[in-house]
């Protein structure tokens, strides 16, 4: 990748700074180049092809959820879309679907990672919706198997209510050092996560942000991501590199 200001080649691990503009990630050789870009993004953004960041929202598929929490989920989707970020969910009913509906209403891009082999199985076996997604990816991995794809496809992960399935997604995200947002007040396992993290007592590189307001949560996640979390390489990357060099 290249710095859009000075056009120097920069690596993800050694970039001096980064910024998110309209949902896209830009990397810089230094904070000086970053400041020039942030002051005048229109002058520099066409110099590079910048990828859009993804936000995975993991939560309860239960359709019998408190109306206020449903509204929070919808507002979360609207906020993700408003920032130009791509929404990823497990393509299930309940809170993730409400989030996807919010993103679609704001012309956001929504990707559903389905447990099914096909559209027919998605609808008839898993009883899951299709009307809020721009893309449905059929993993054929089942409910548990698709969780890894959900997490690894997300630059940031948000936990919204949820029960055992969402807890599994949280565990994967935490173990793989993701930046994790927790929507306080959304019920389910979110009430237990602070205590669980203390009990786990394991440094994986994961960062957690707790907020009850969807707009504030996304703002804080982007702040943490641009200030430090972008530097964390994906899980297993360094191990694979070391094995290749030793071989």
Q: 33, 51, 69 — which closes off a domain?
A: 51
Query: Taking a C-beta distance cutoff of 8 angstroms, is the pair 45, 2 a contact?
Result: no
Domain that holds residue 150: 54-231
Shared domain for 26 and 75, answered yes or no, is no
Rounded Cα gap, residues 1 and 14, in angstroms: 11
**Same domain assignment for residues 175 and 128:** yes
CATH code (residue 33): 2.30.170
**What is the maximum alpha-carbon separation in the chain?**
56
Residues 204, 102 within the same domain: yes
Domain match, 46 and 60 both: no
Same domain, 120 and 2: no
106 with 76: CB under 8 angstroms?
A: no
Residues 76 and 187 grouped into a single domain: yes
Phi-psi region of 162 (alpha: psi -120 to 50; beta: other; left: phi over 0): left
**Pair (38, 146) in one structural domain:** no
Q: Is 131 exposed, middle or buried (0-12, 13-18, 19+ CB in 10 A)?
A: exposed
DSSP-assigned letter for residue 183 = E
CA dihedral 37, 38, 42, 48 (to 10 degrees): 50
Domain presence at residue 240: no
CATH of the domain at 194: 3.40.50.450
φ/ψ of residue 25, rounded to 5: -95, 125
Q: Assess contact for 90 and 112: CB atoms under 8 A.
A: yes
- Is position 245 within any domain? no
pLDDT tens digits for the chain (247 residues)? 899 999 999 988 889 999 999 999 999 999 999 999 999 999 999 999 999 999 999 999 987 778 999 999 999 999 999 999 999 999 999 999 999 999 999 999 999 999 999 999 999 999 999 999 999 999 999 998 999 999 999 999 999 999 999 999 999 999 999 999 999 999 999 999 999 999 999 999 999 999 999 999 999 999 999 999 998 765 545 544 444 444 3
Strand 17-21 relative to strand 24-28, pairing: antiparallel
Token readout for 25 is 């990630």
The answer to whether residue 238 is domain-embedded is: no
* Region for residue 86 given its phi and psi (left: phi exceeds 0; alpha: psi -120 to 50; beta: otherwise): beta
On whether both 96 and 149 belong to a single domain, the answer is: yes
Residues 45 and 150 in one domain: no
Q: Are residues 116 and 214 in the same domain?
A: yes
Residue 147: DSSP 8-state: H
Residue 13: per-residue pLDDT: 80
Is 244 part of any domain? no
Are 22 and 135 contained in the same domain? no
Query: Is residue 43 located within the same domain as residue 108?
Result: no
């Amino acid at each position: 990748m290249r710095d859009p200001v000075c056009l120097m080649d920069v690596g993800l691990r050694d970039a001096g700074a980064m910024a998110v503009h309209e949902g896209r990630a830009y990397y810089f050789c230094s904070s000086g180049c970053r400041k020039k870009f942030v002051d005048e993004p229109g002058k520099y953004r066409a110099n590079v092809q910048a990828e859009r960041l993804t936000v995975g929202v993991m939560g309860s598929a239960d359709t019998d959820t408190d109306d206020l929490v449903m509204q929070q989920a919808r507002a979360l989707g609207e906020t993700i879309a408003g920032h130009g970020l791509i929404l990823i969910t497990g393509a299930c009913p309940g809170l993730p679907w409400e989030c996807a509906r919010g993103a679609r209403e704001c012309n956001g891009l929504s990707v559903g990672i389905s447990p099914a082999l096909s559209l027919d199985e998605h609808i008839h076996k898993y009883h899951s919706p299709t009307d809020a997604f721009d893309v449905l990816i059929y993993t054929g991995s089942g409910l548990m198997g698709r969780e890894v794809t959900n997490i690894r496809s997300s630059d940031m992960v948000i936990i919204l209510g949820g029960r055992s399935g969402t807890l599994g997604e949280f565990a994967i995200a935490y173990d793989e050092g993701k930046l994790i947002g927790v929507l306080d007040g959304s019920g389910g396992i979110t009430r237990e996560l602070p205590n669980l993290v203390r009990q786990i007592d394991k440094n994986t590189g994961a960062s957690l942000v707790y907020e009850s307001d969807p707009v504030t949560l996304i703002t804080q996640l982007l702040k943490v991501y641009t200030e430090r979390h972008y530097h964390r390489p994906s899980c297993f990357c360094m191990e694979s590199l070391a094995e290749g060099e030793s071989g």
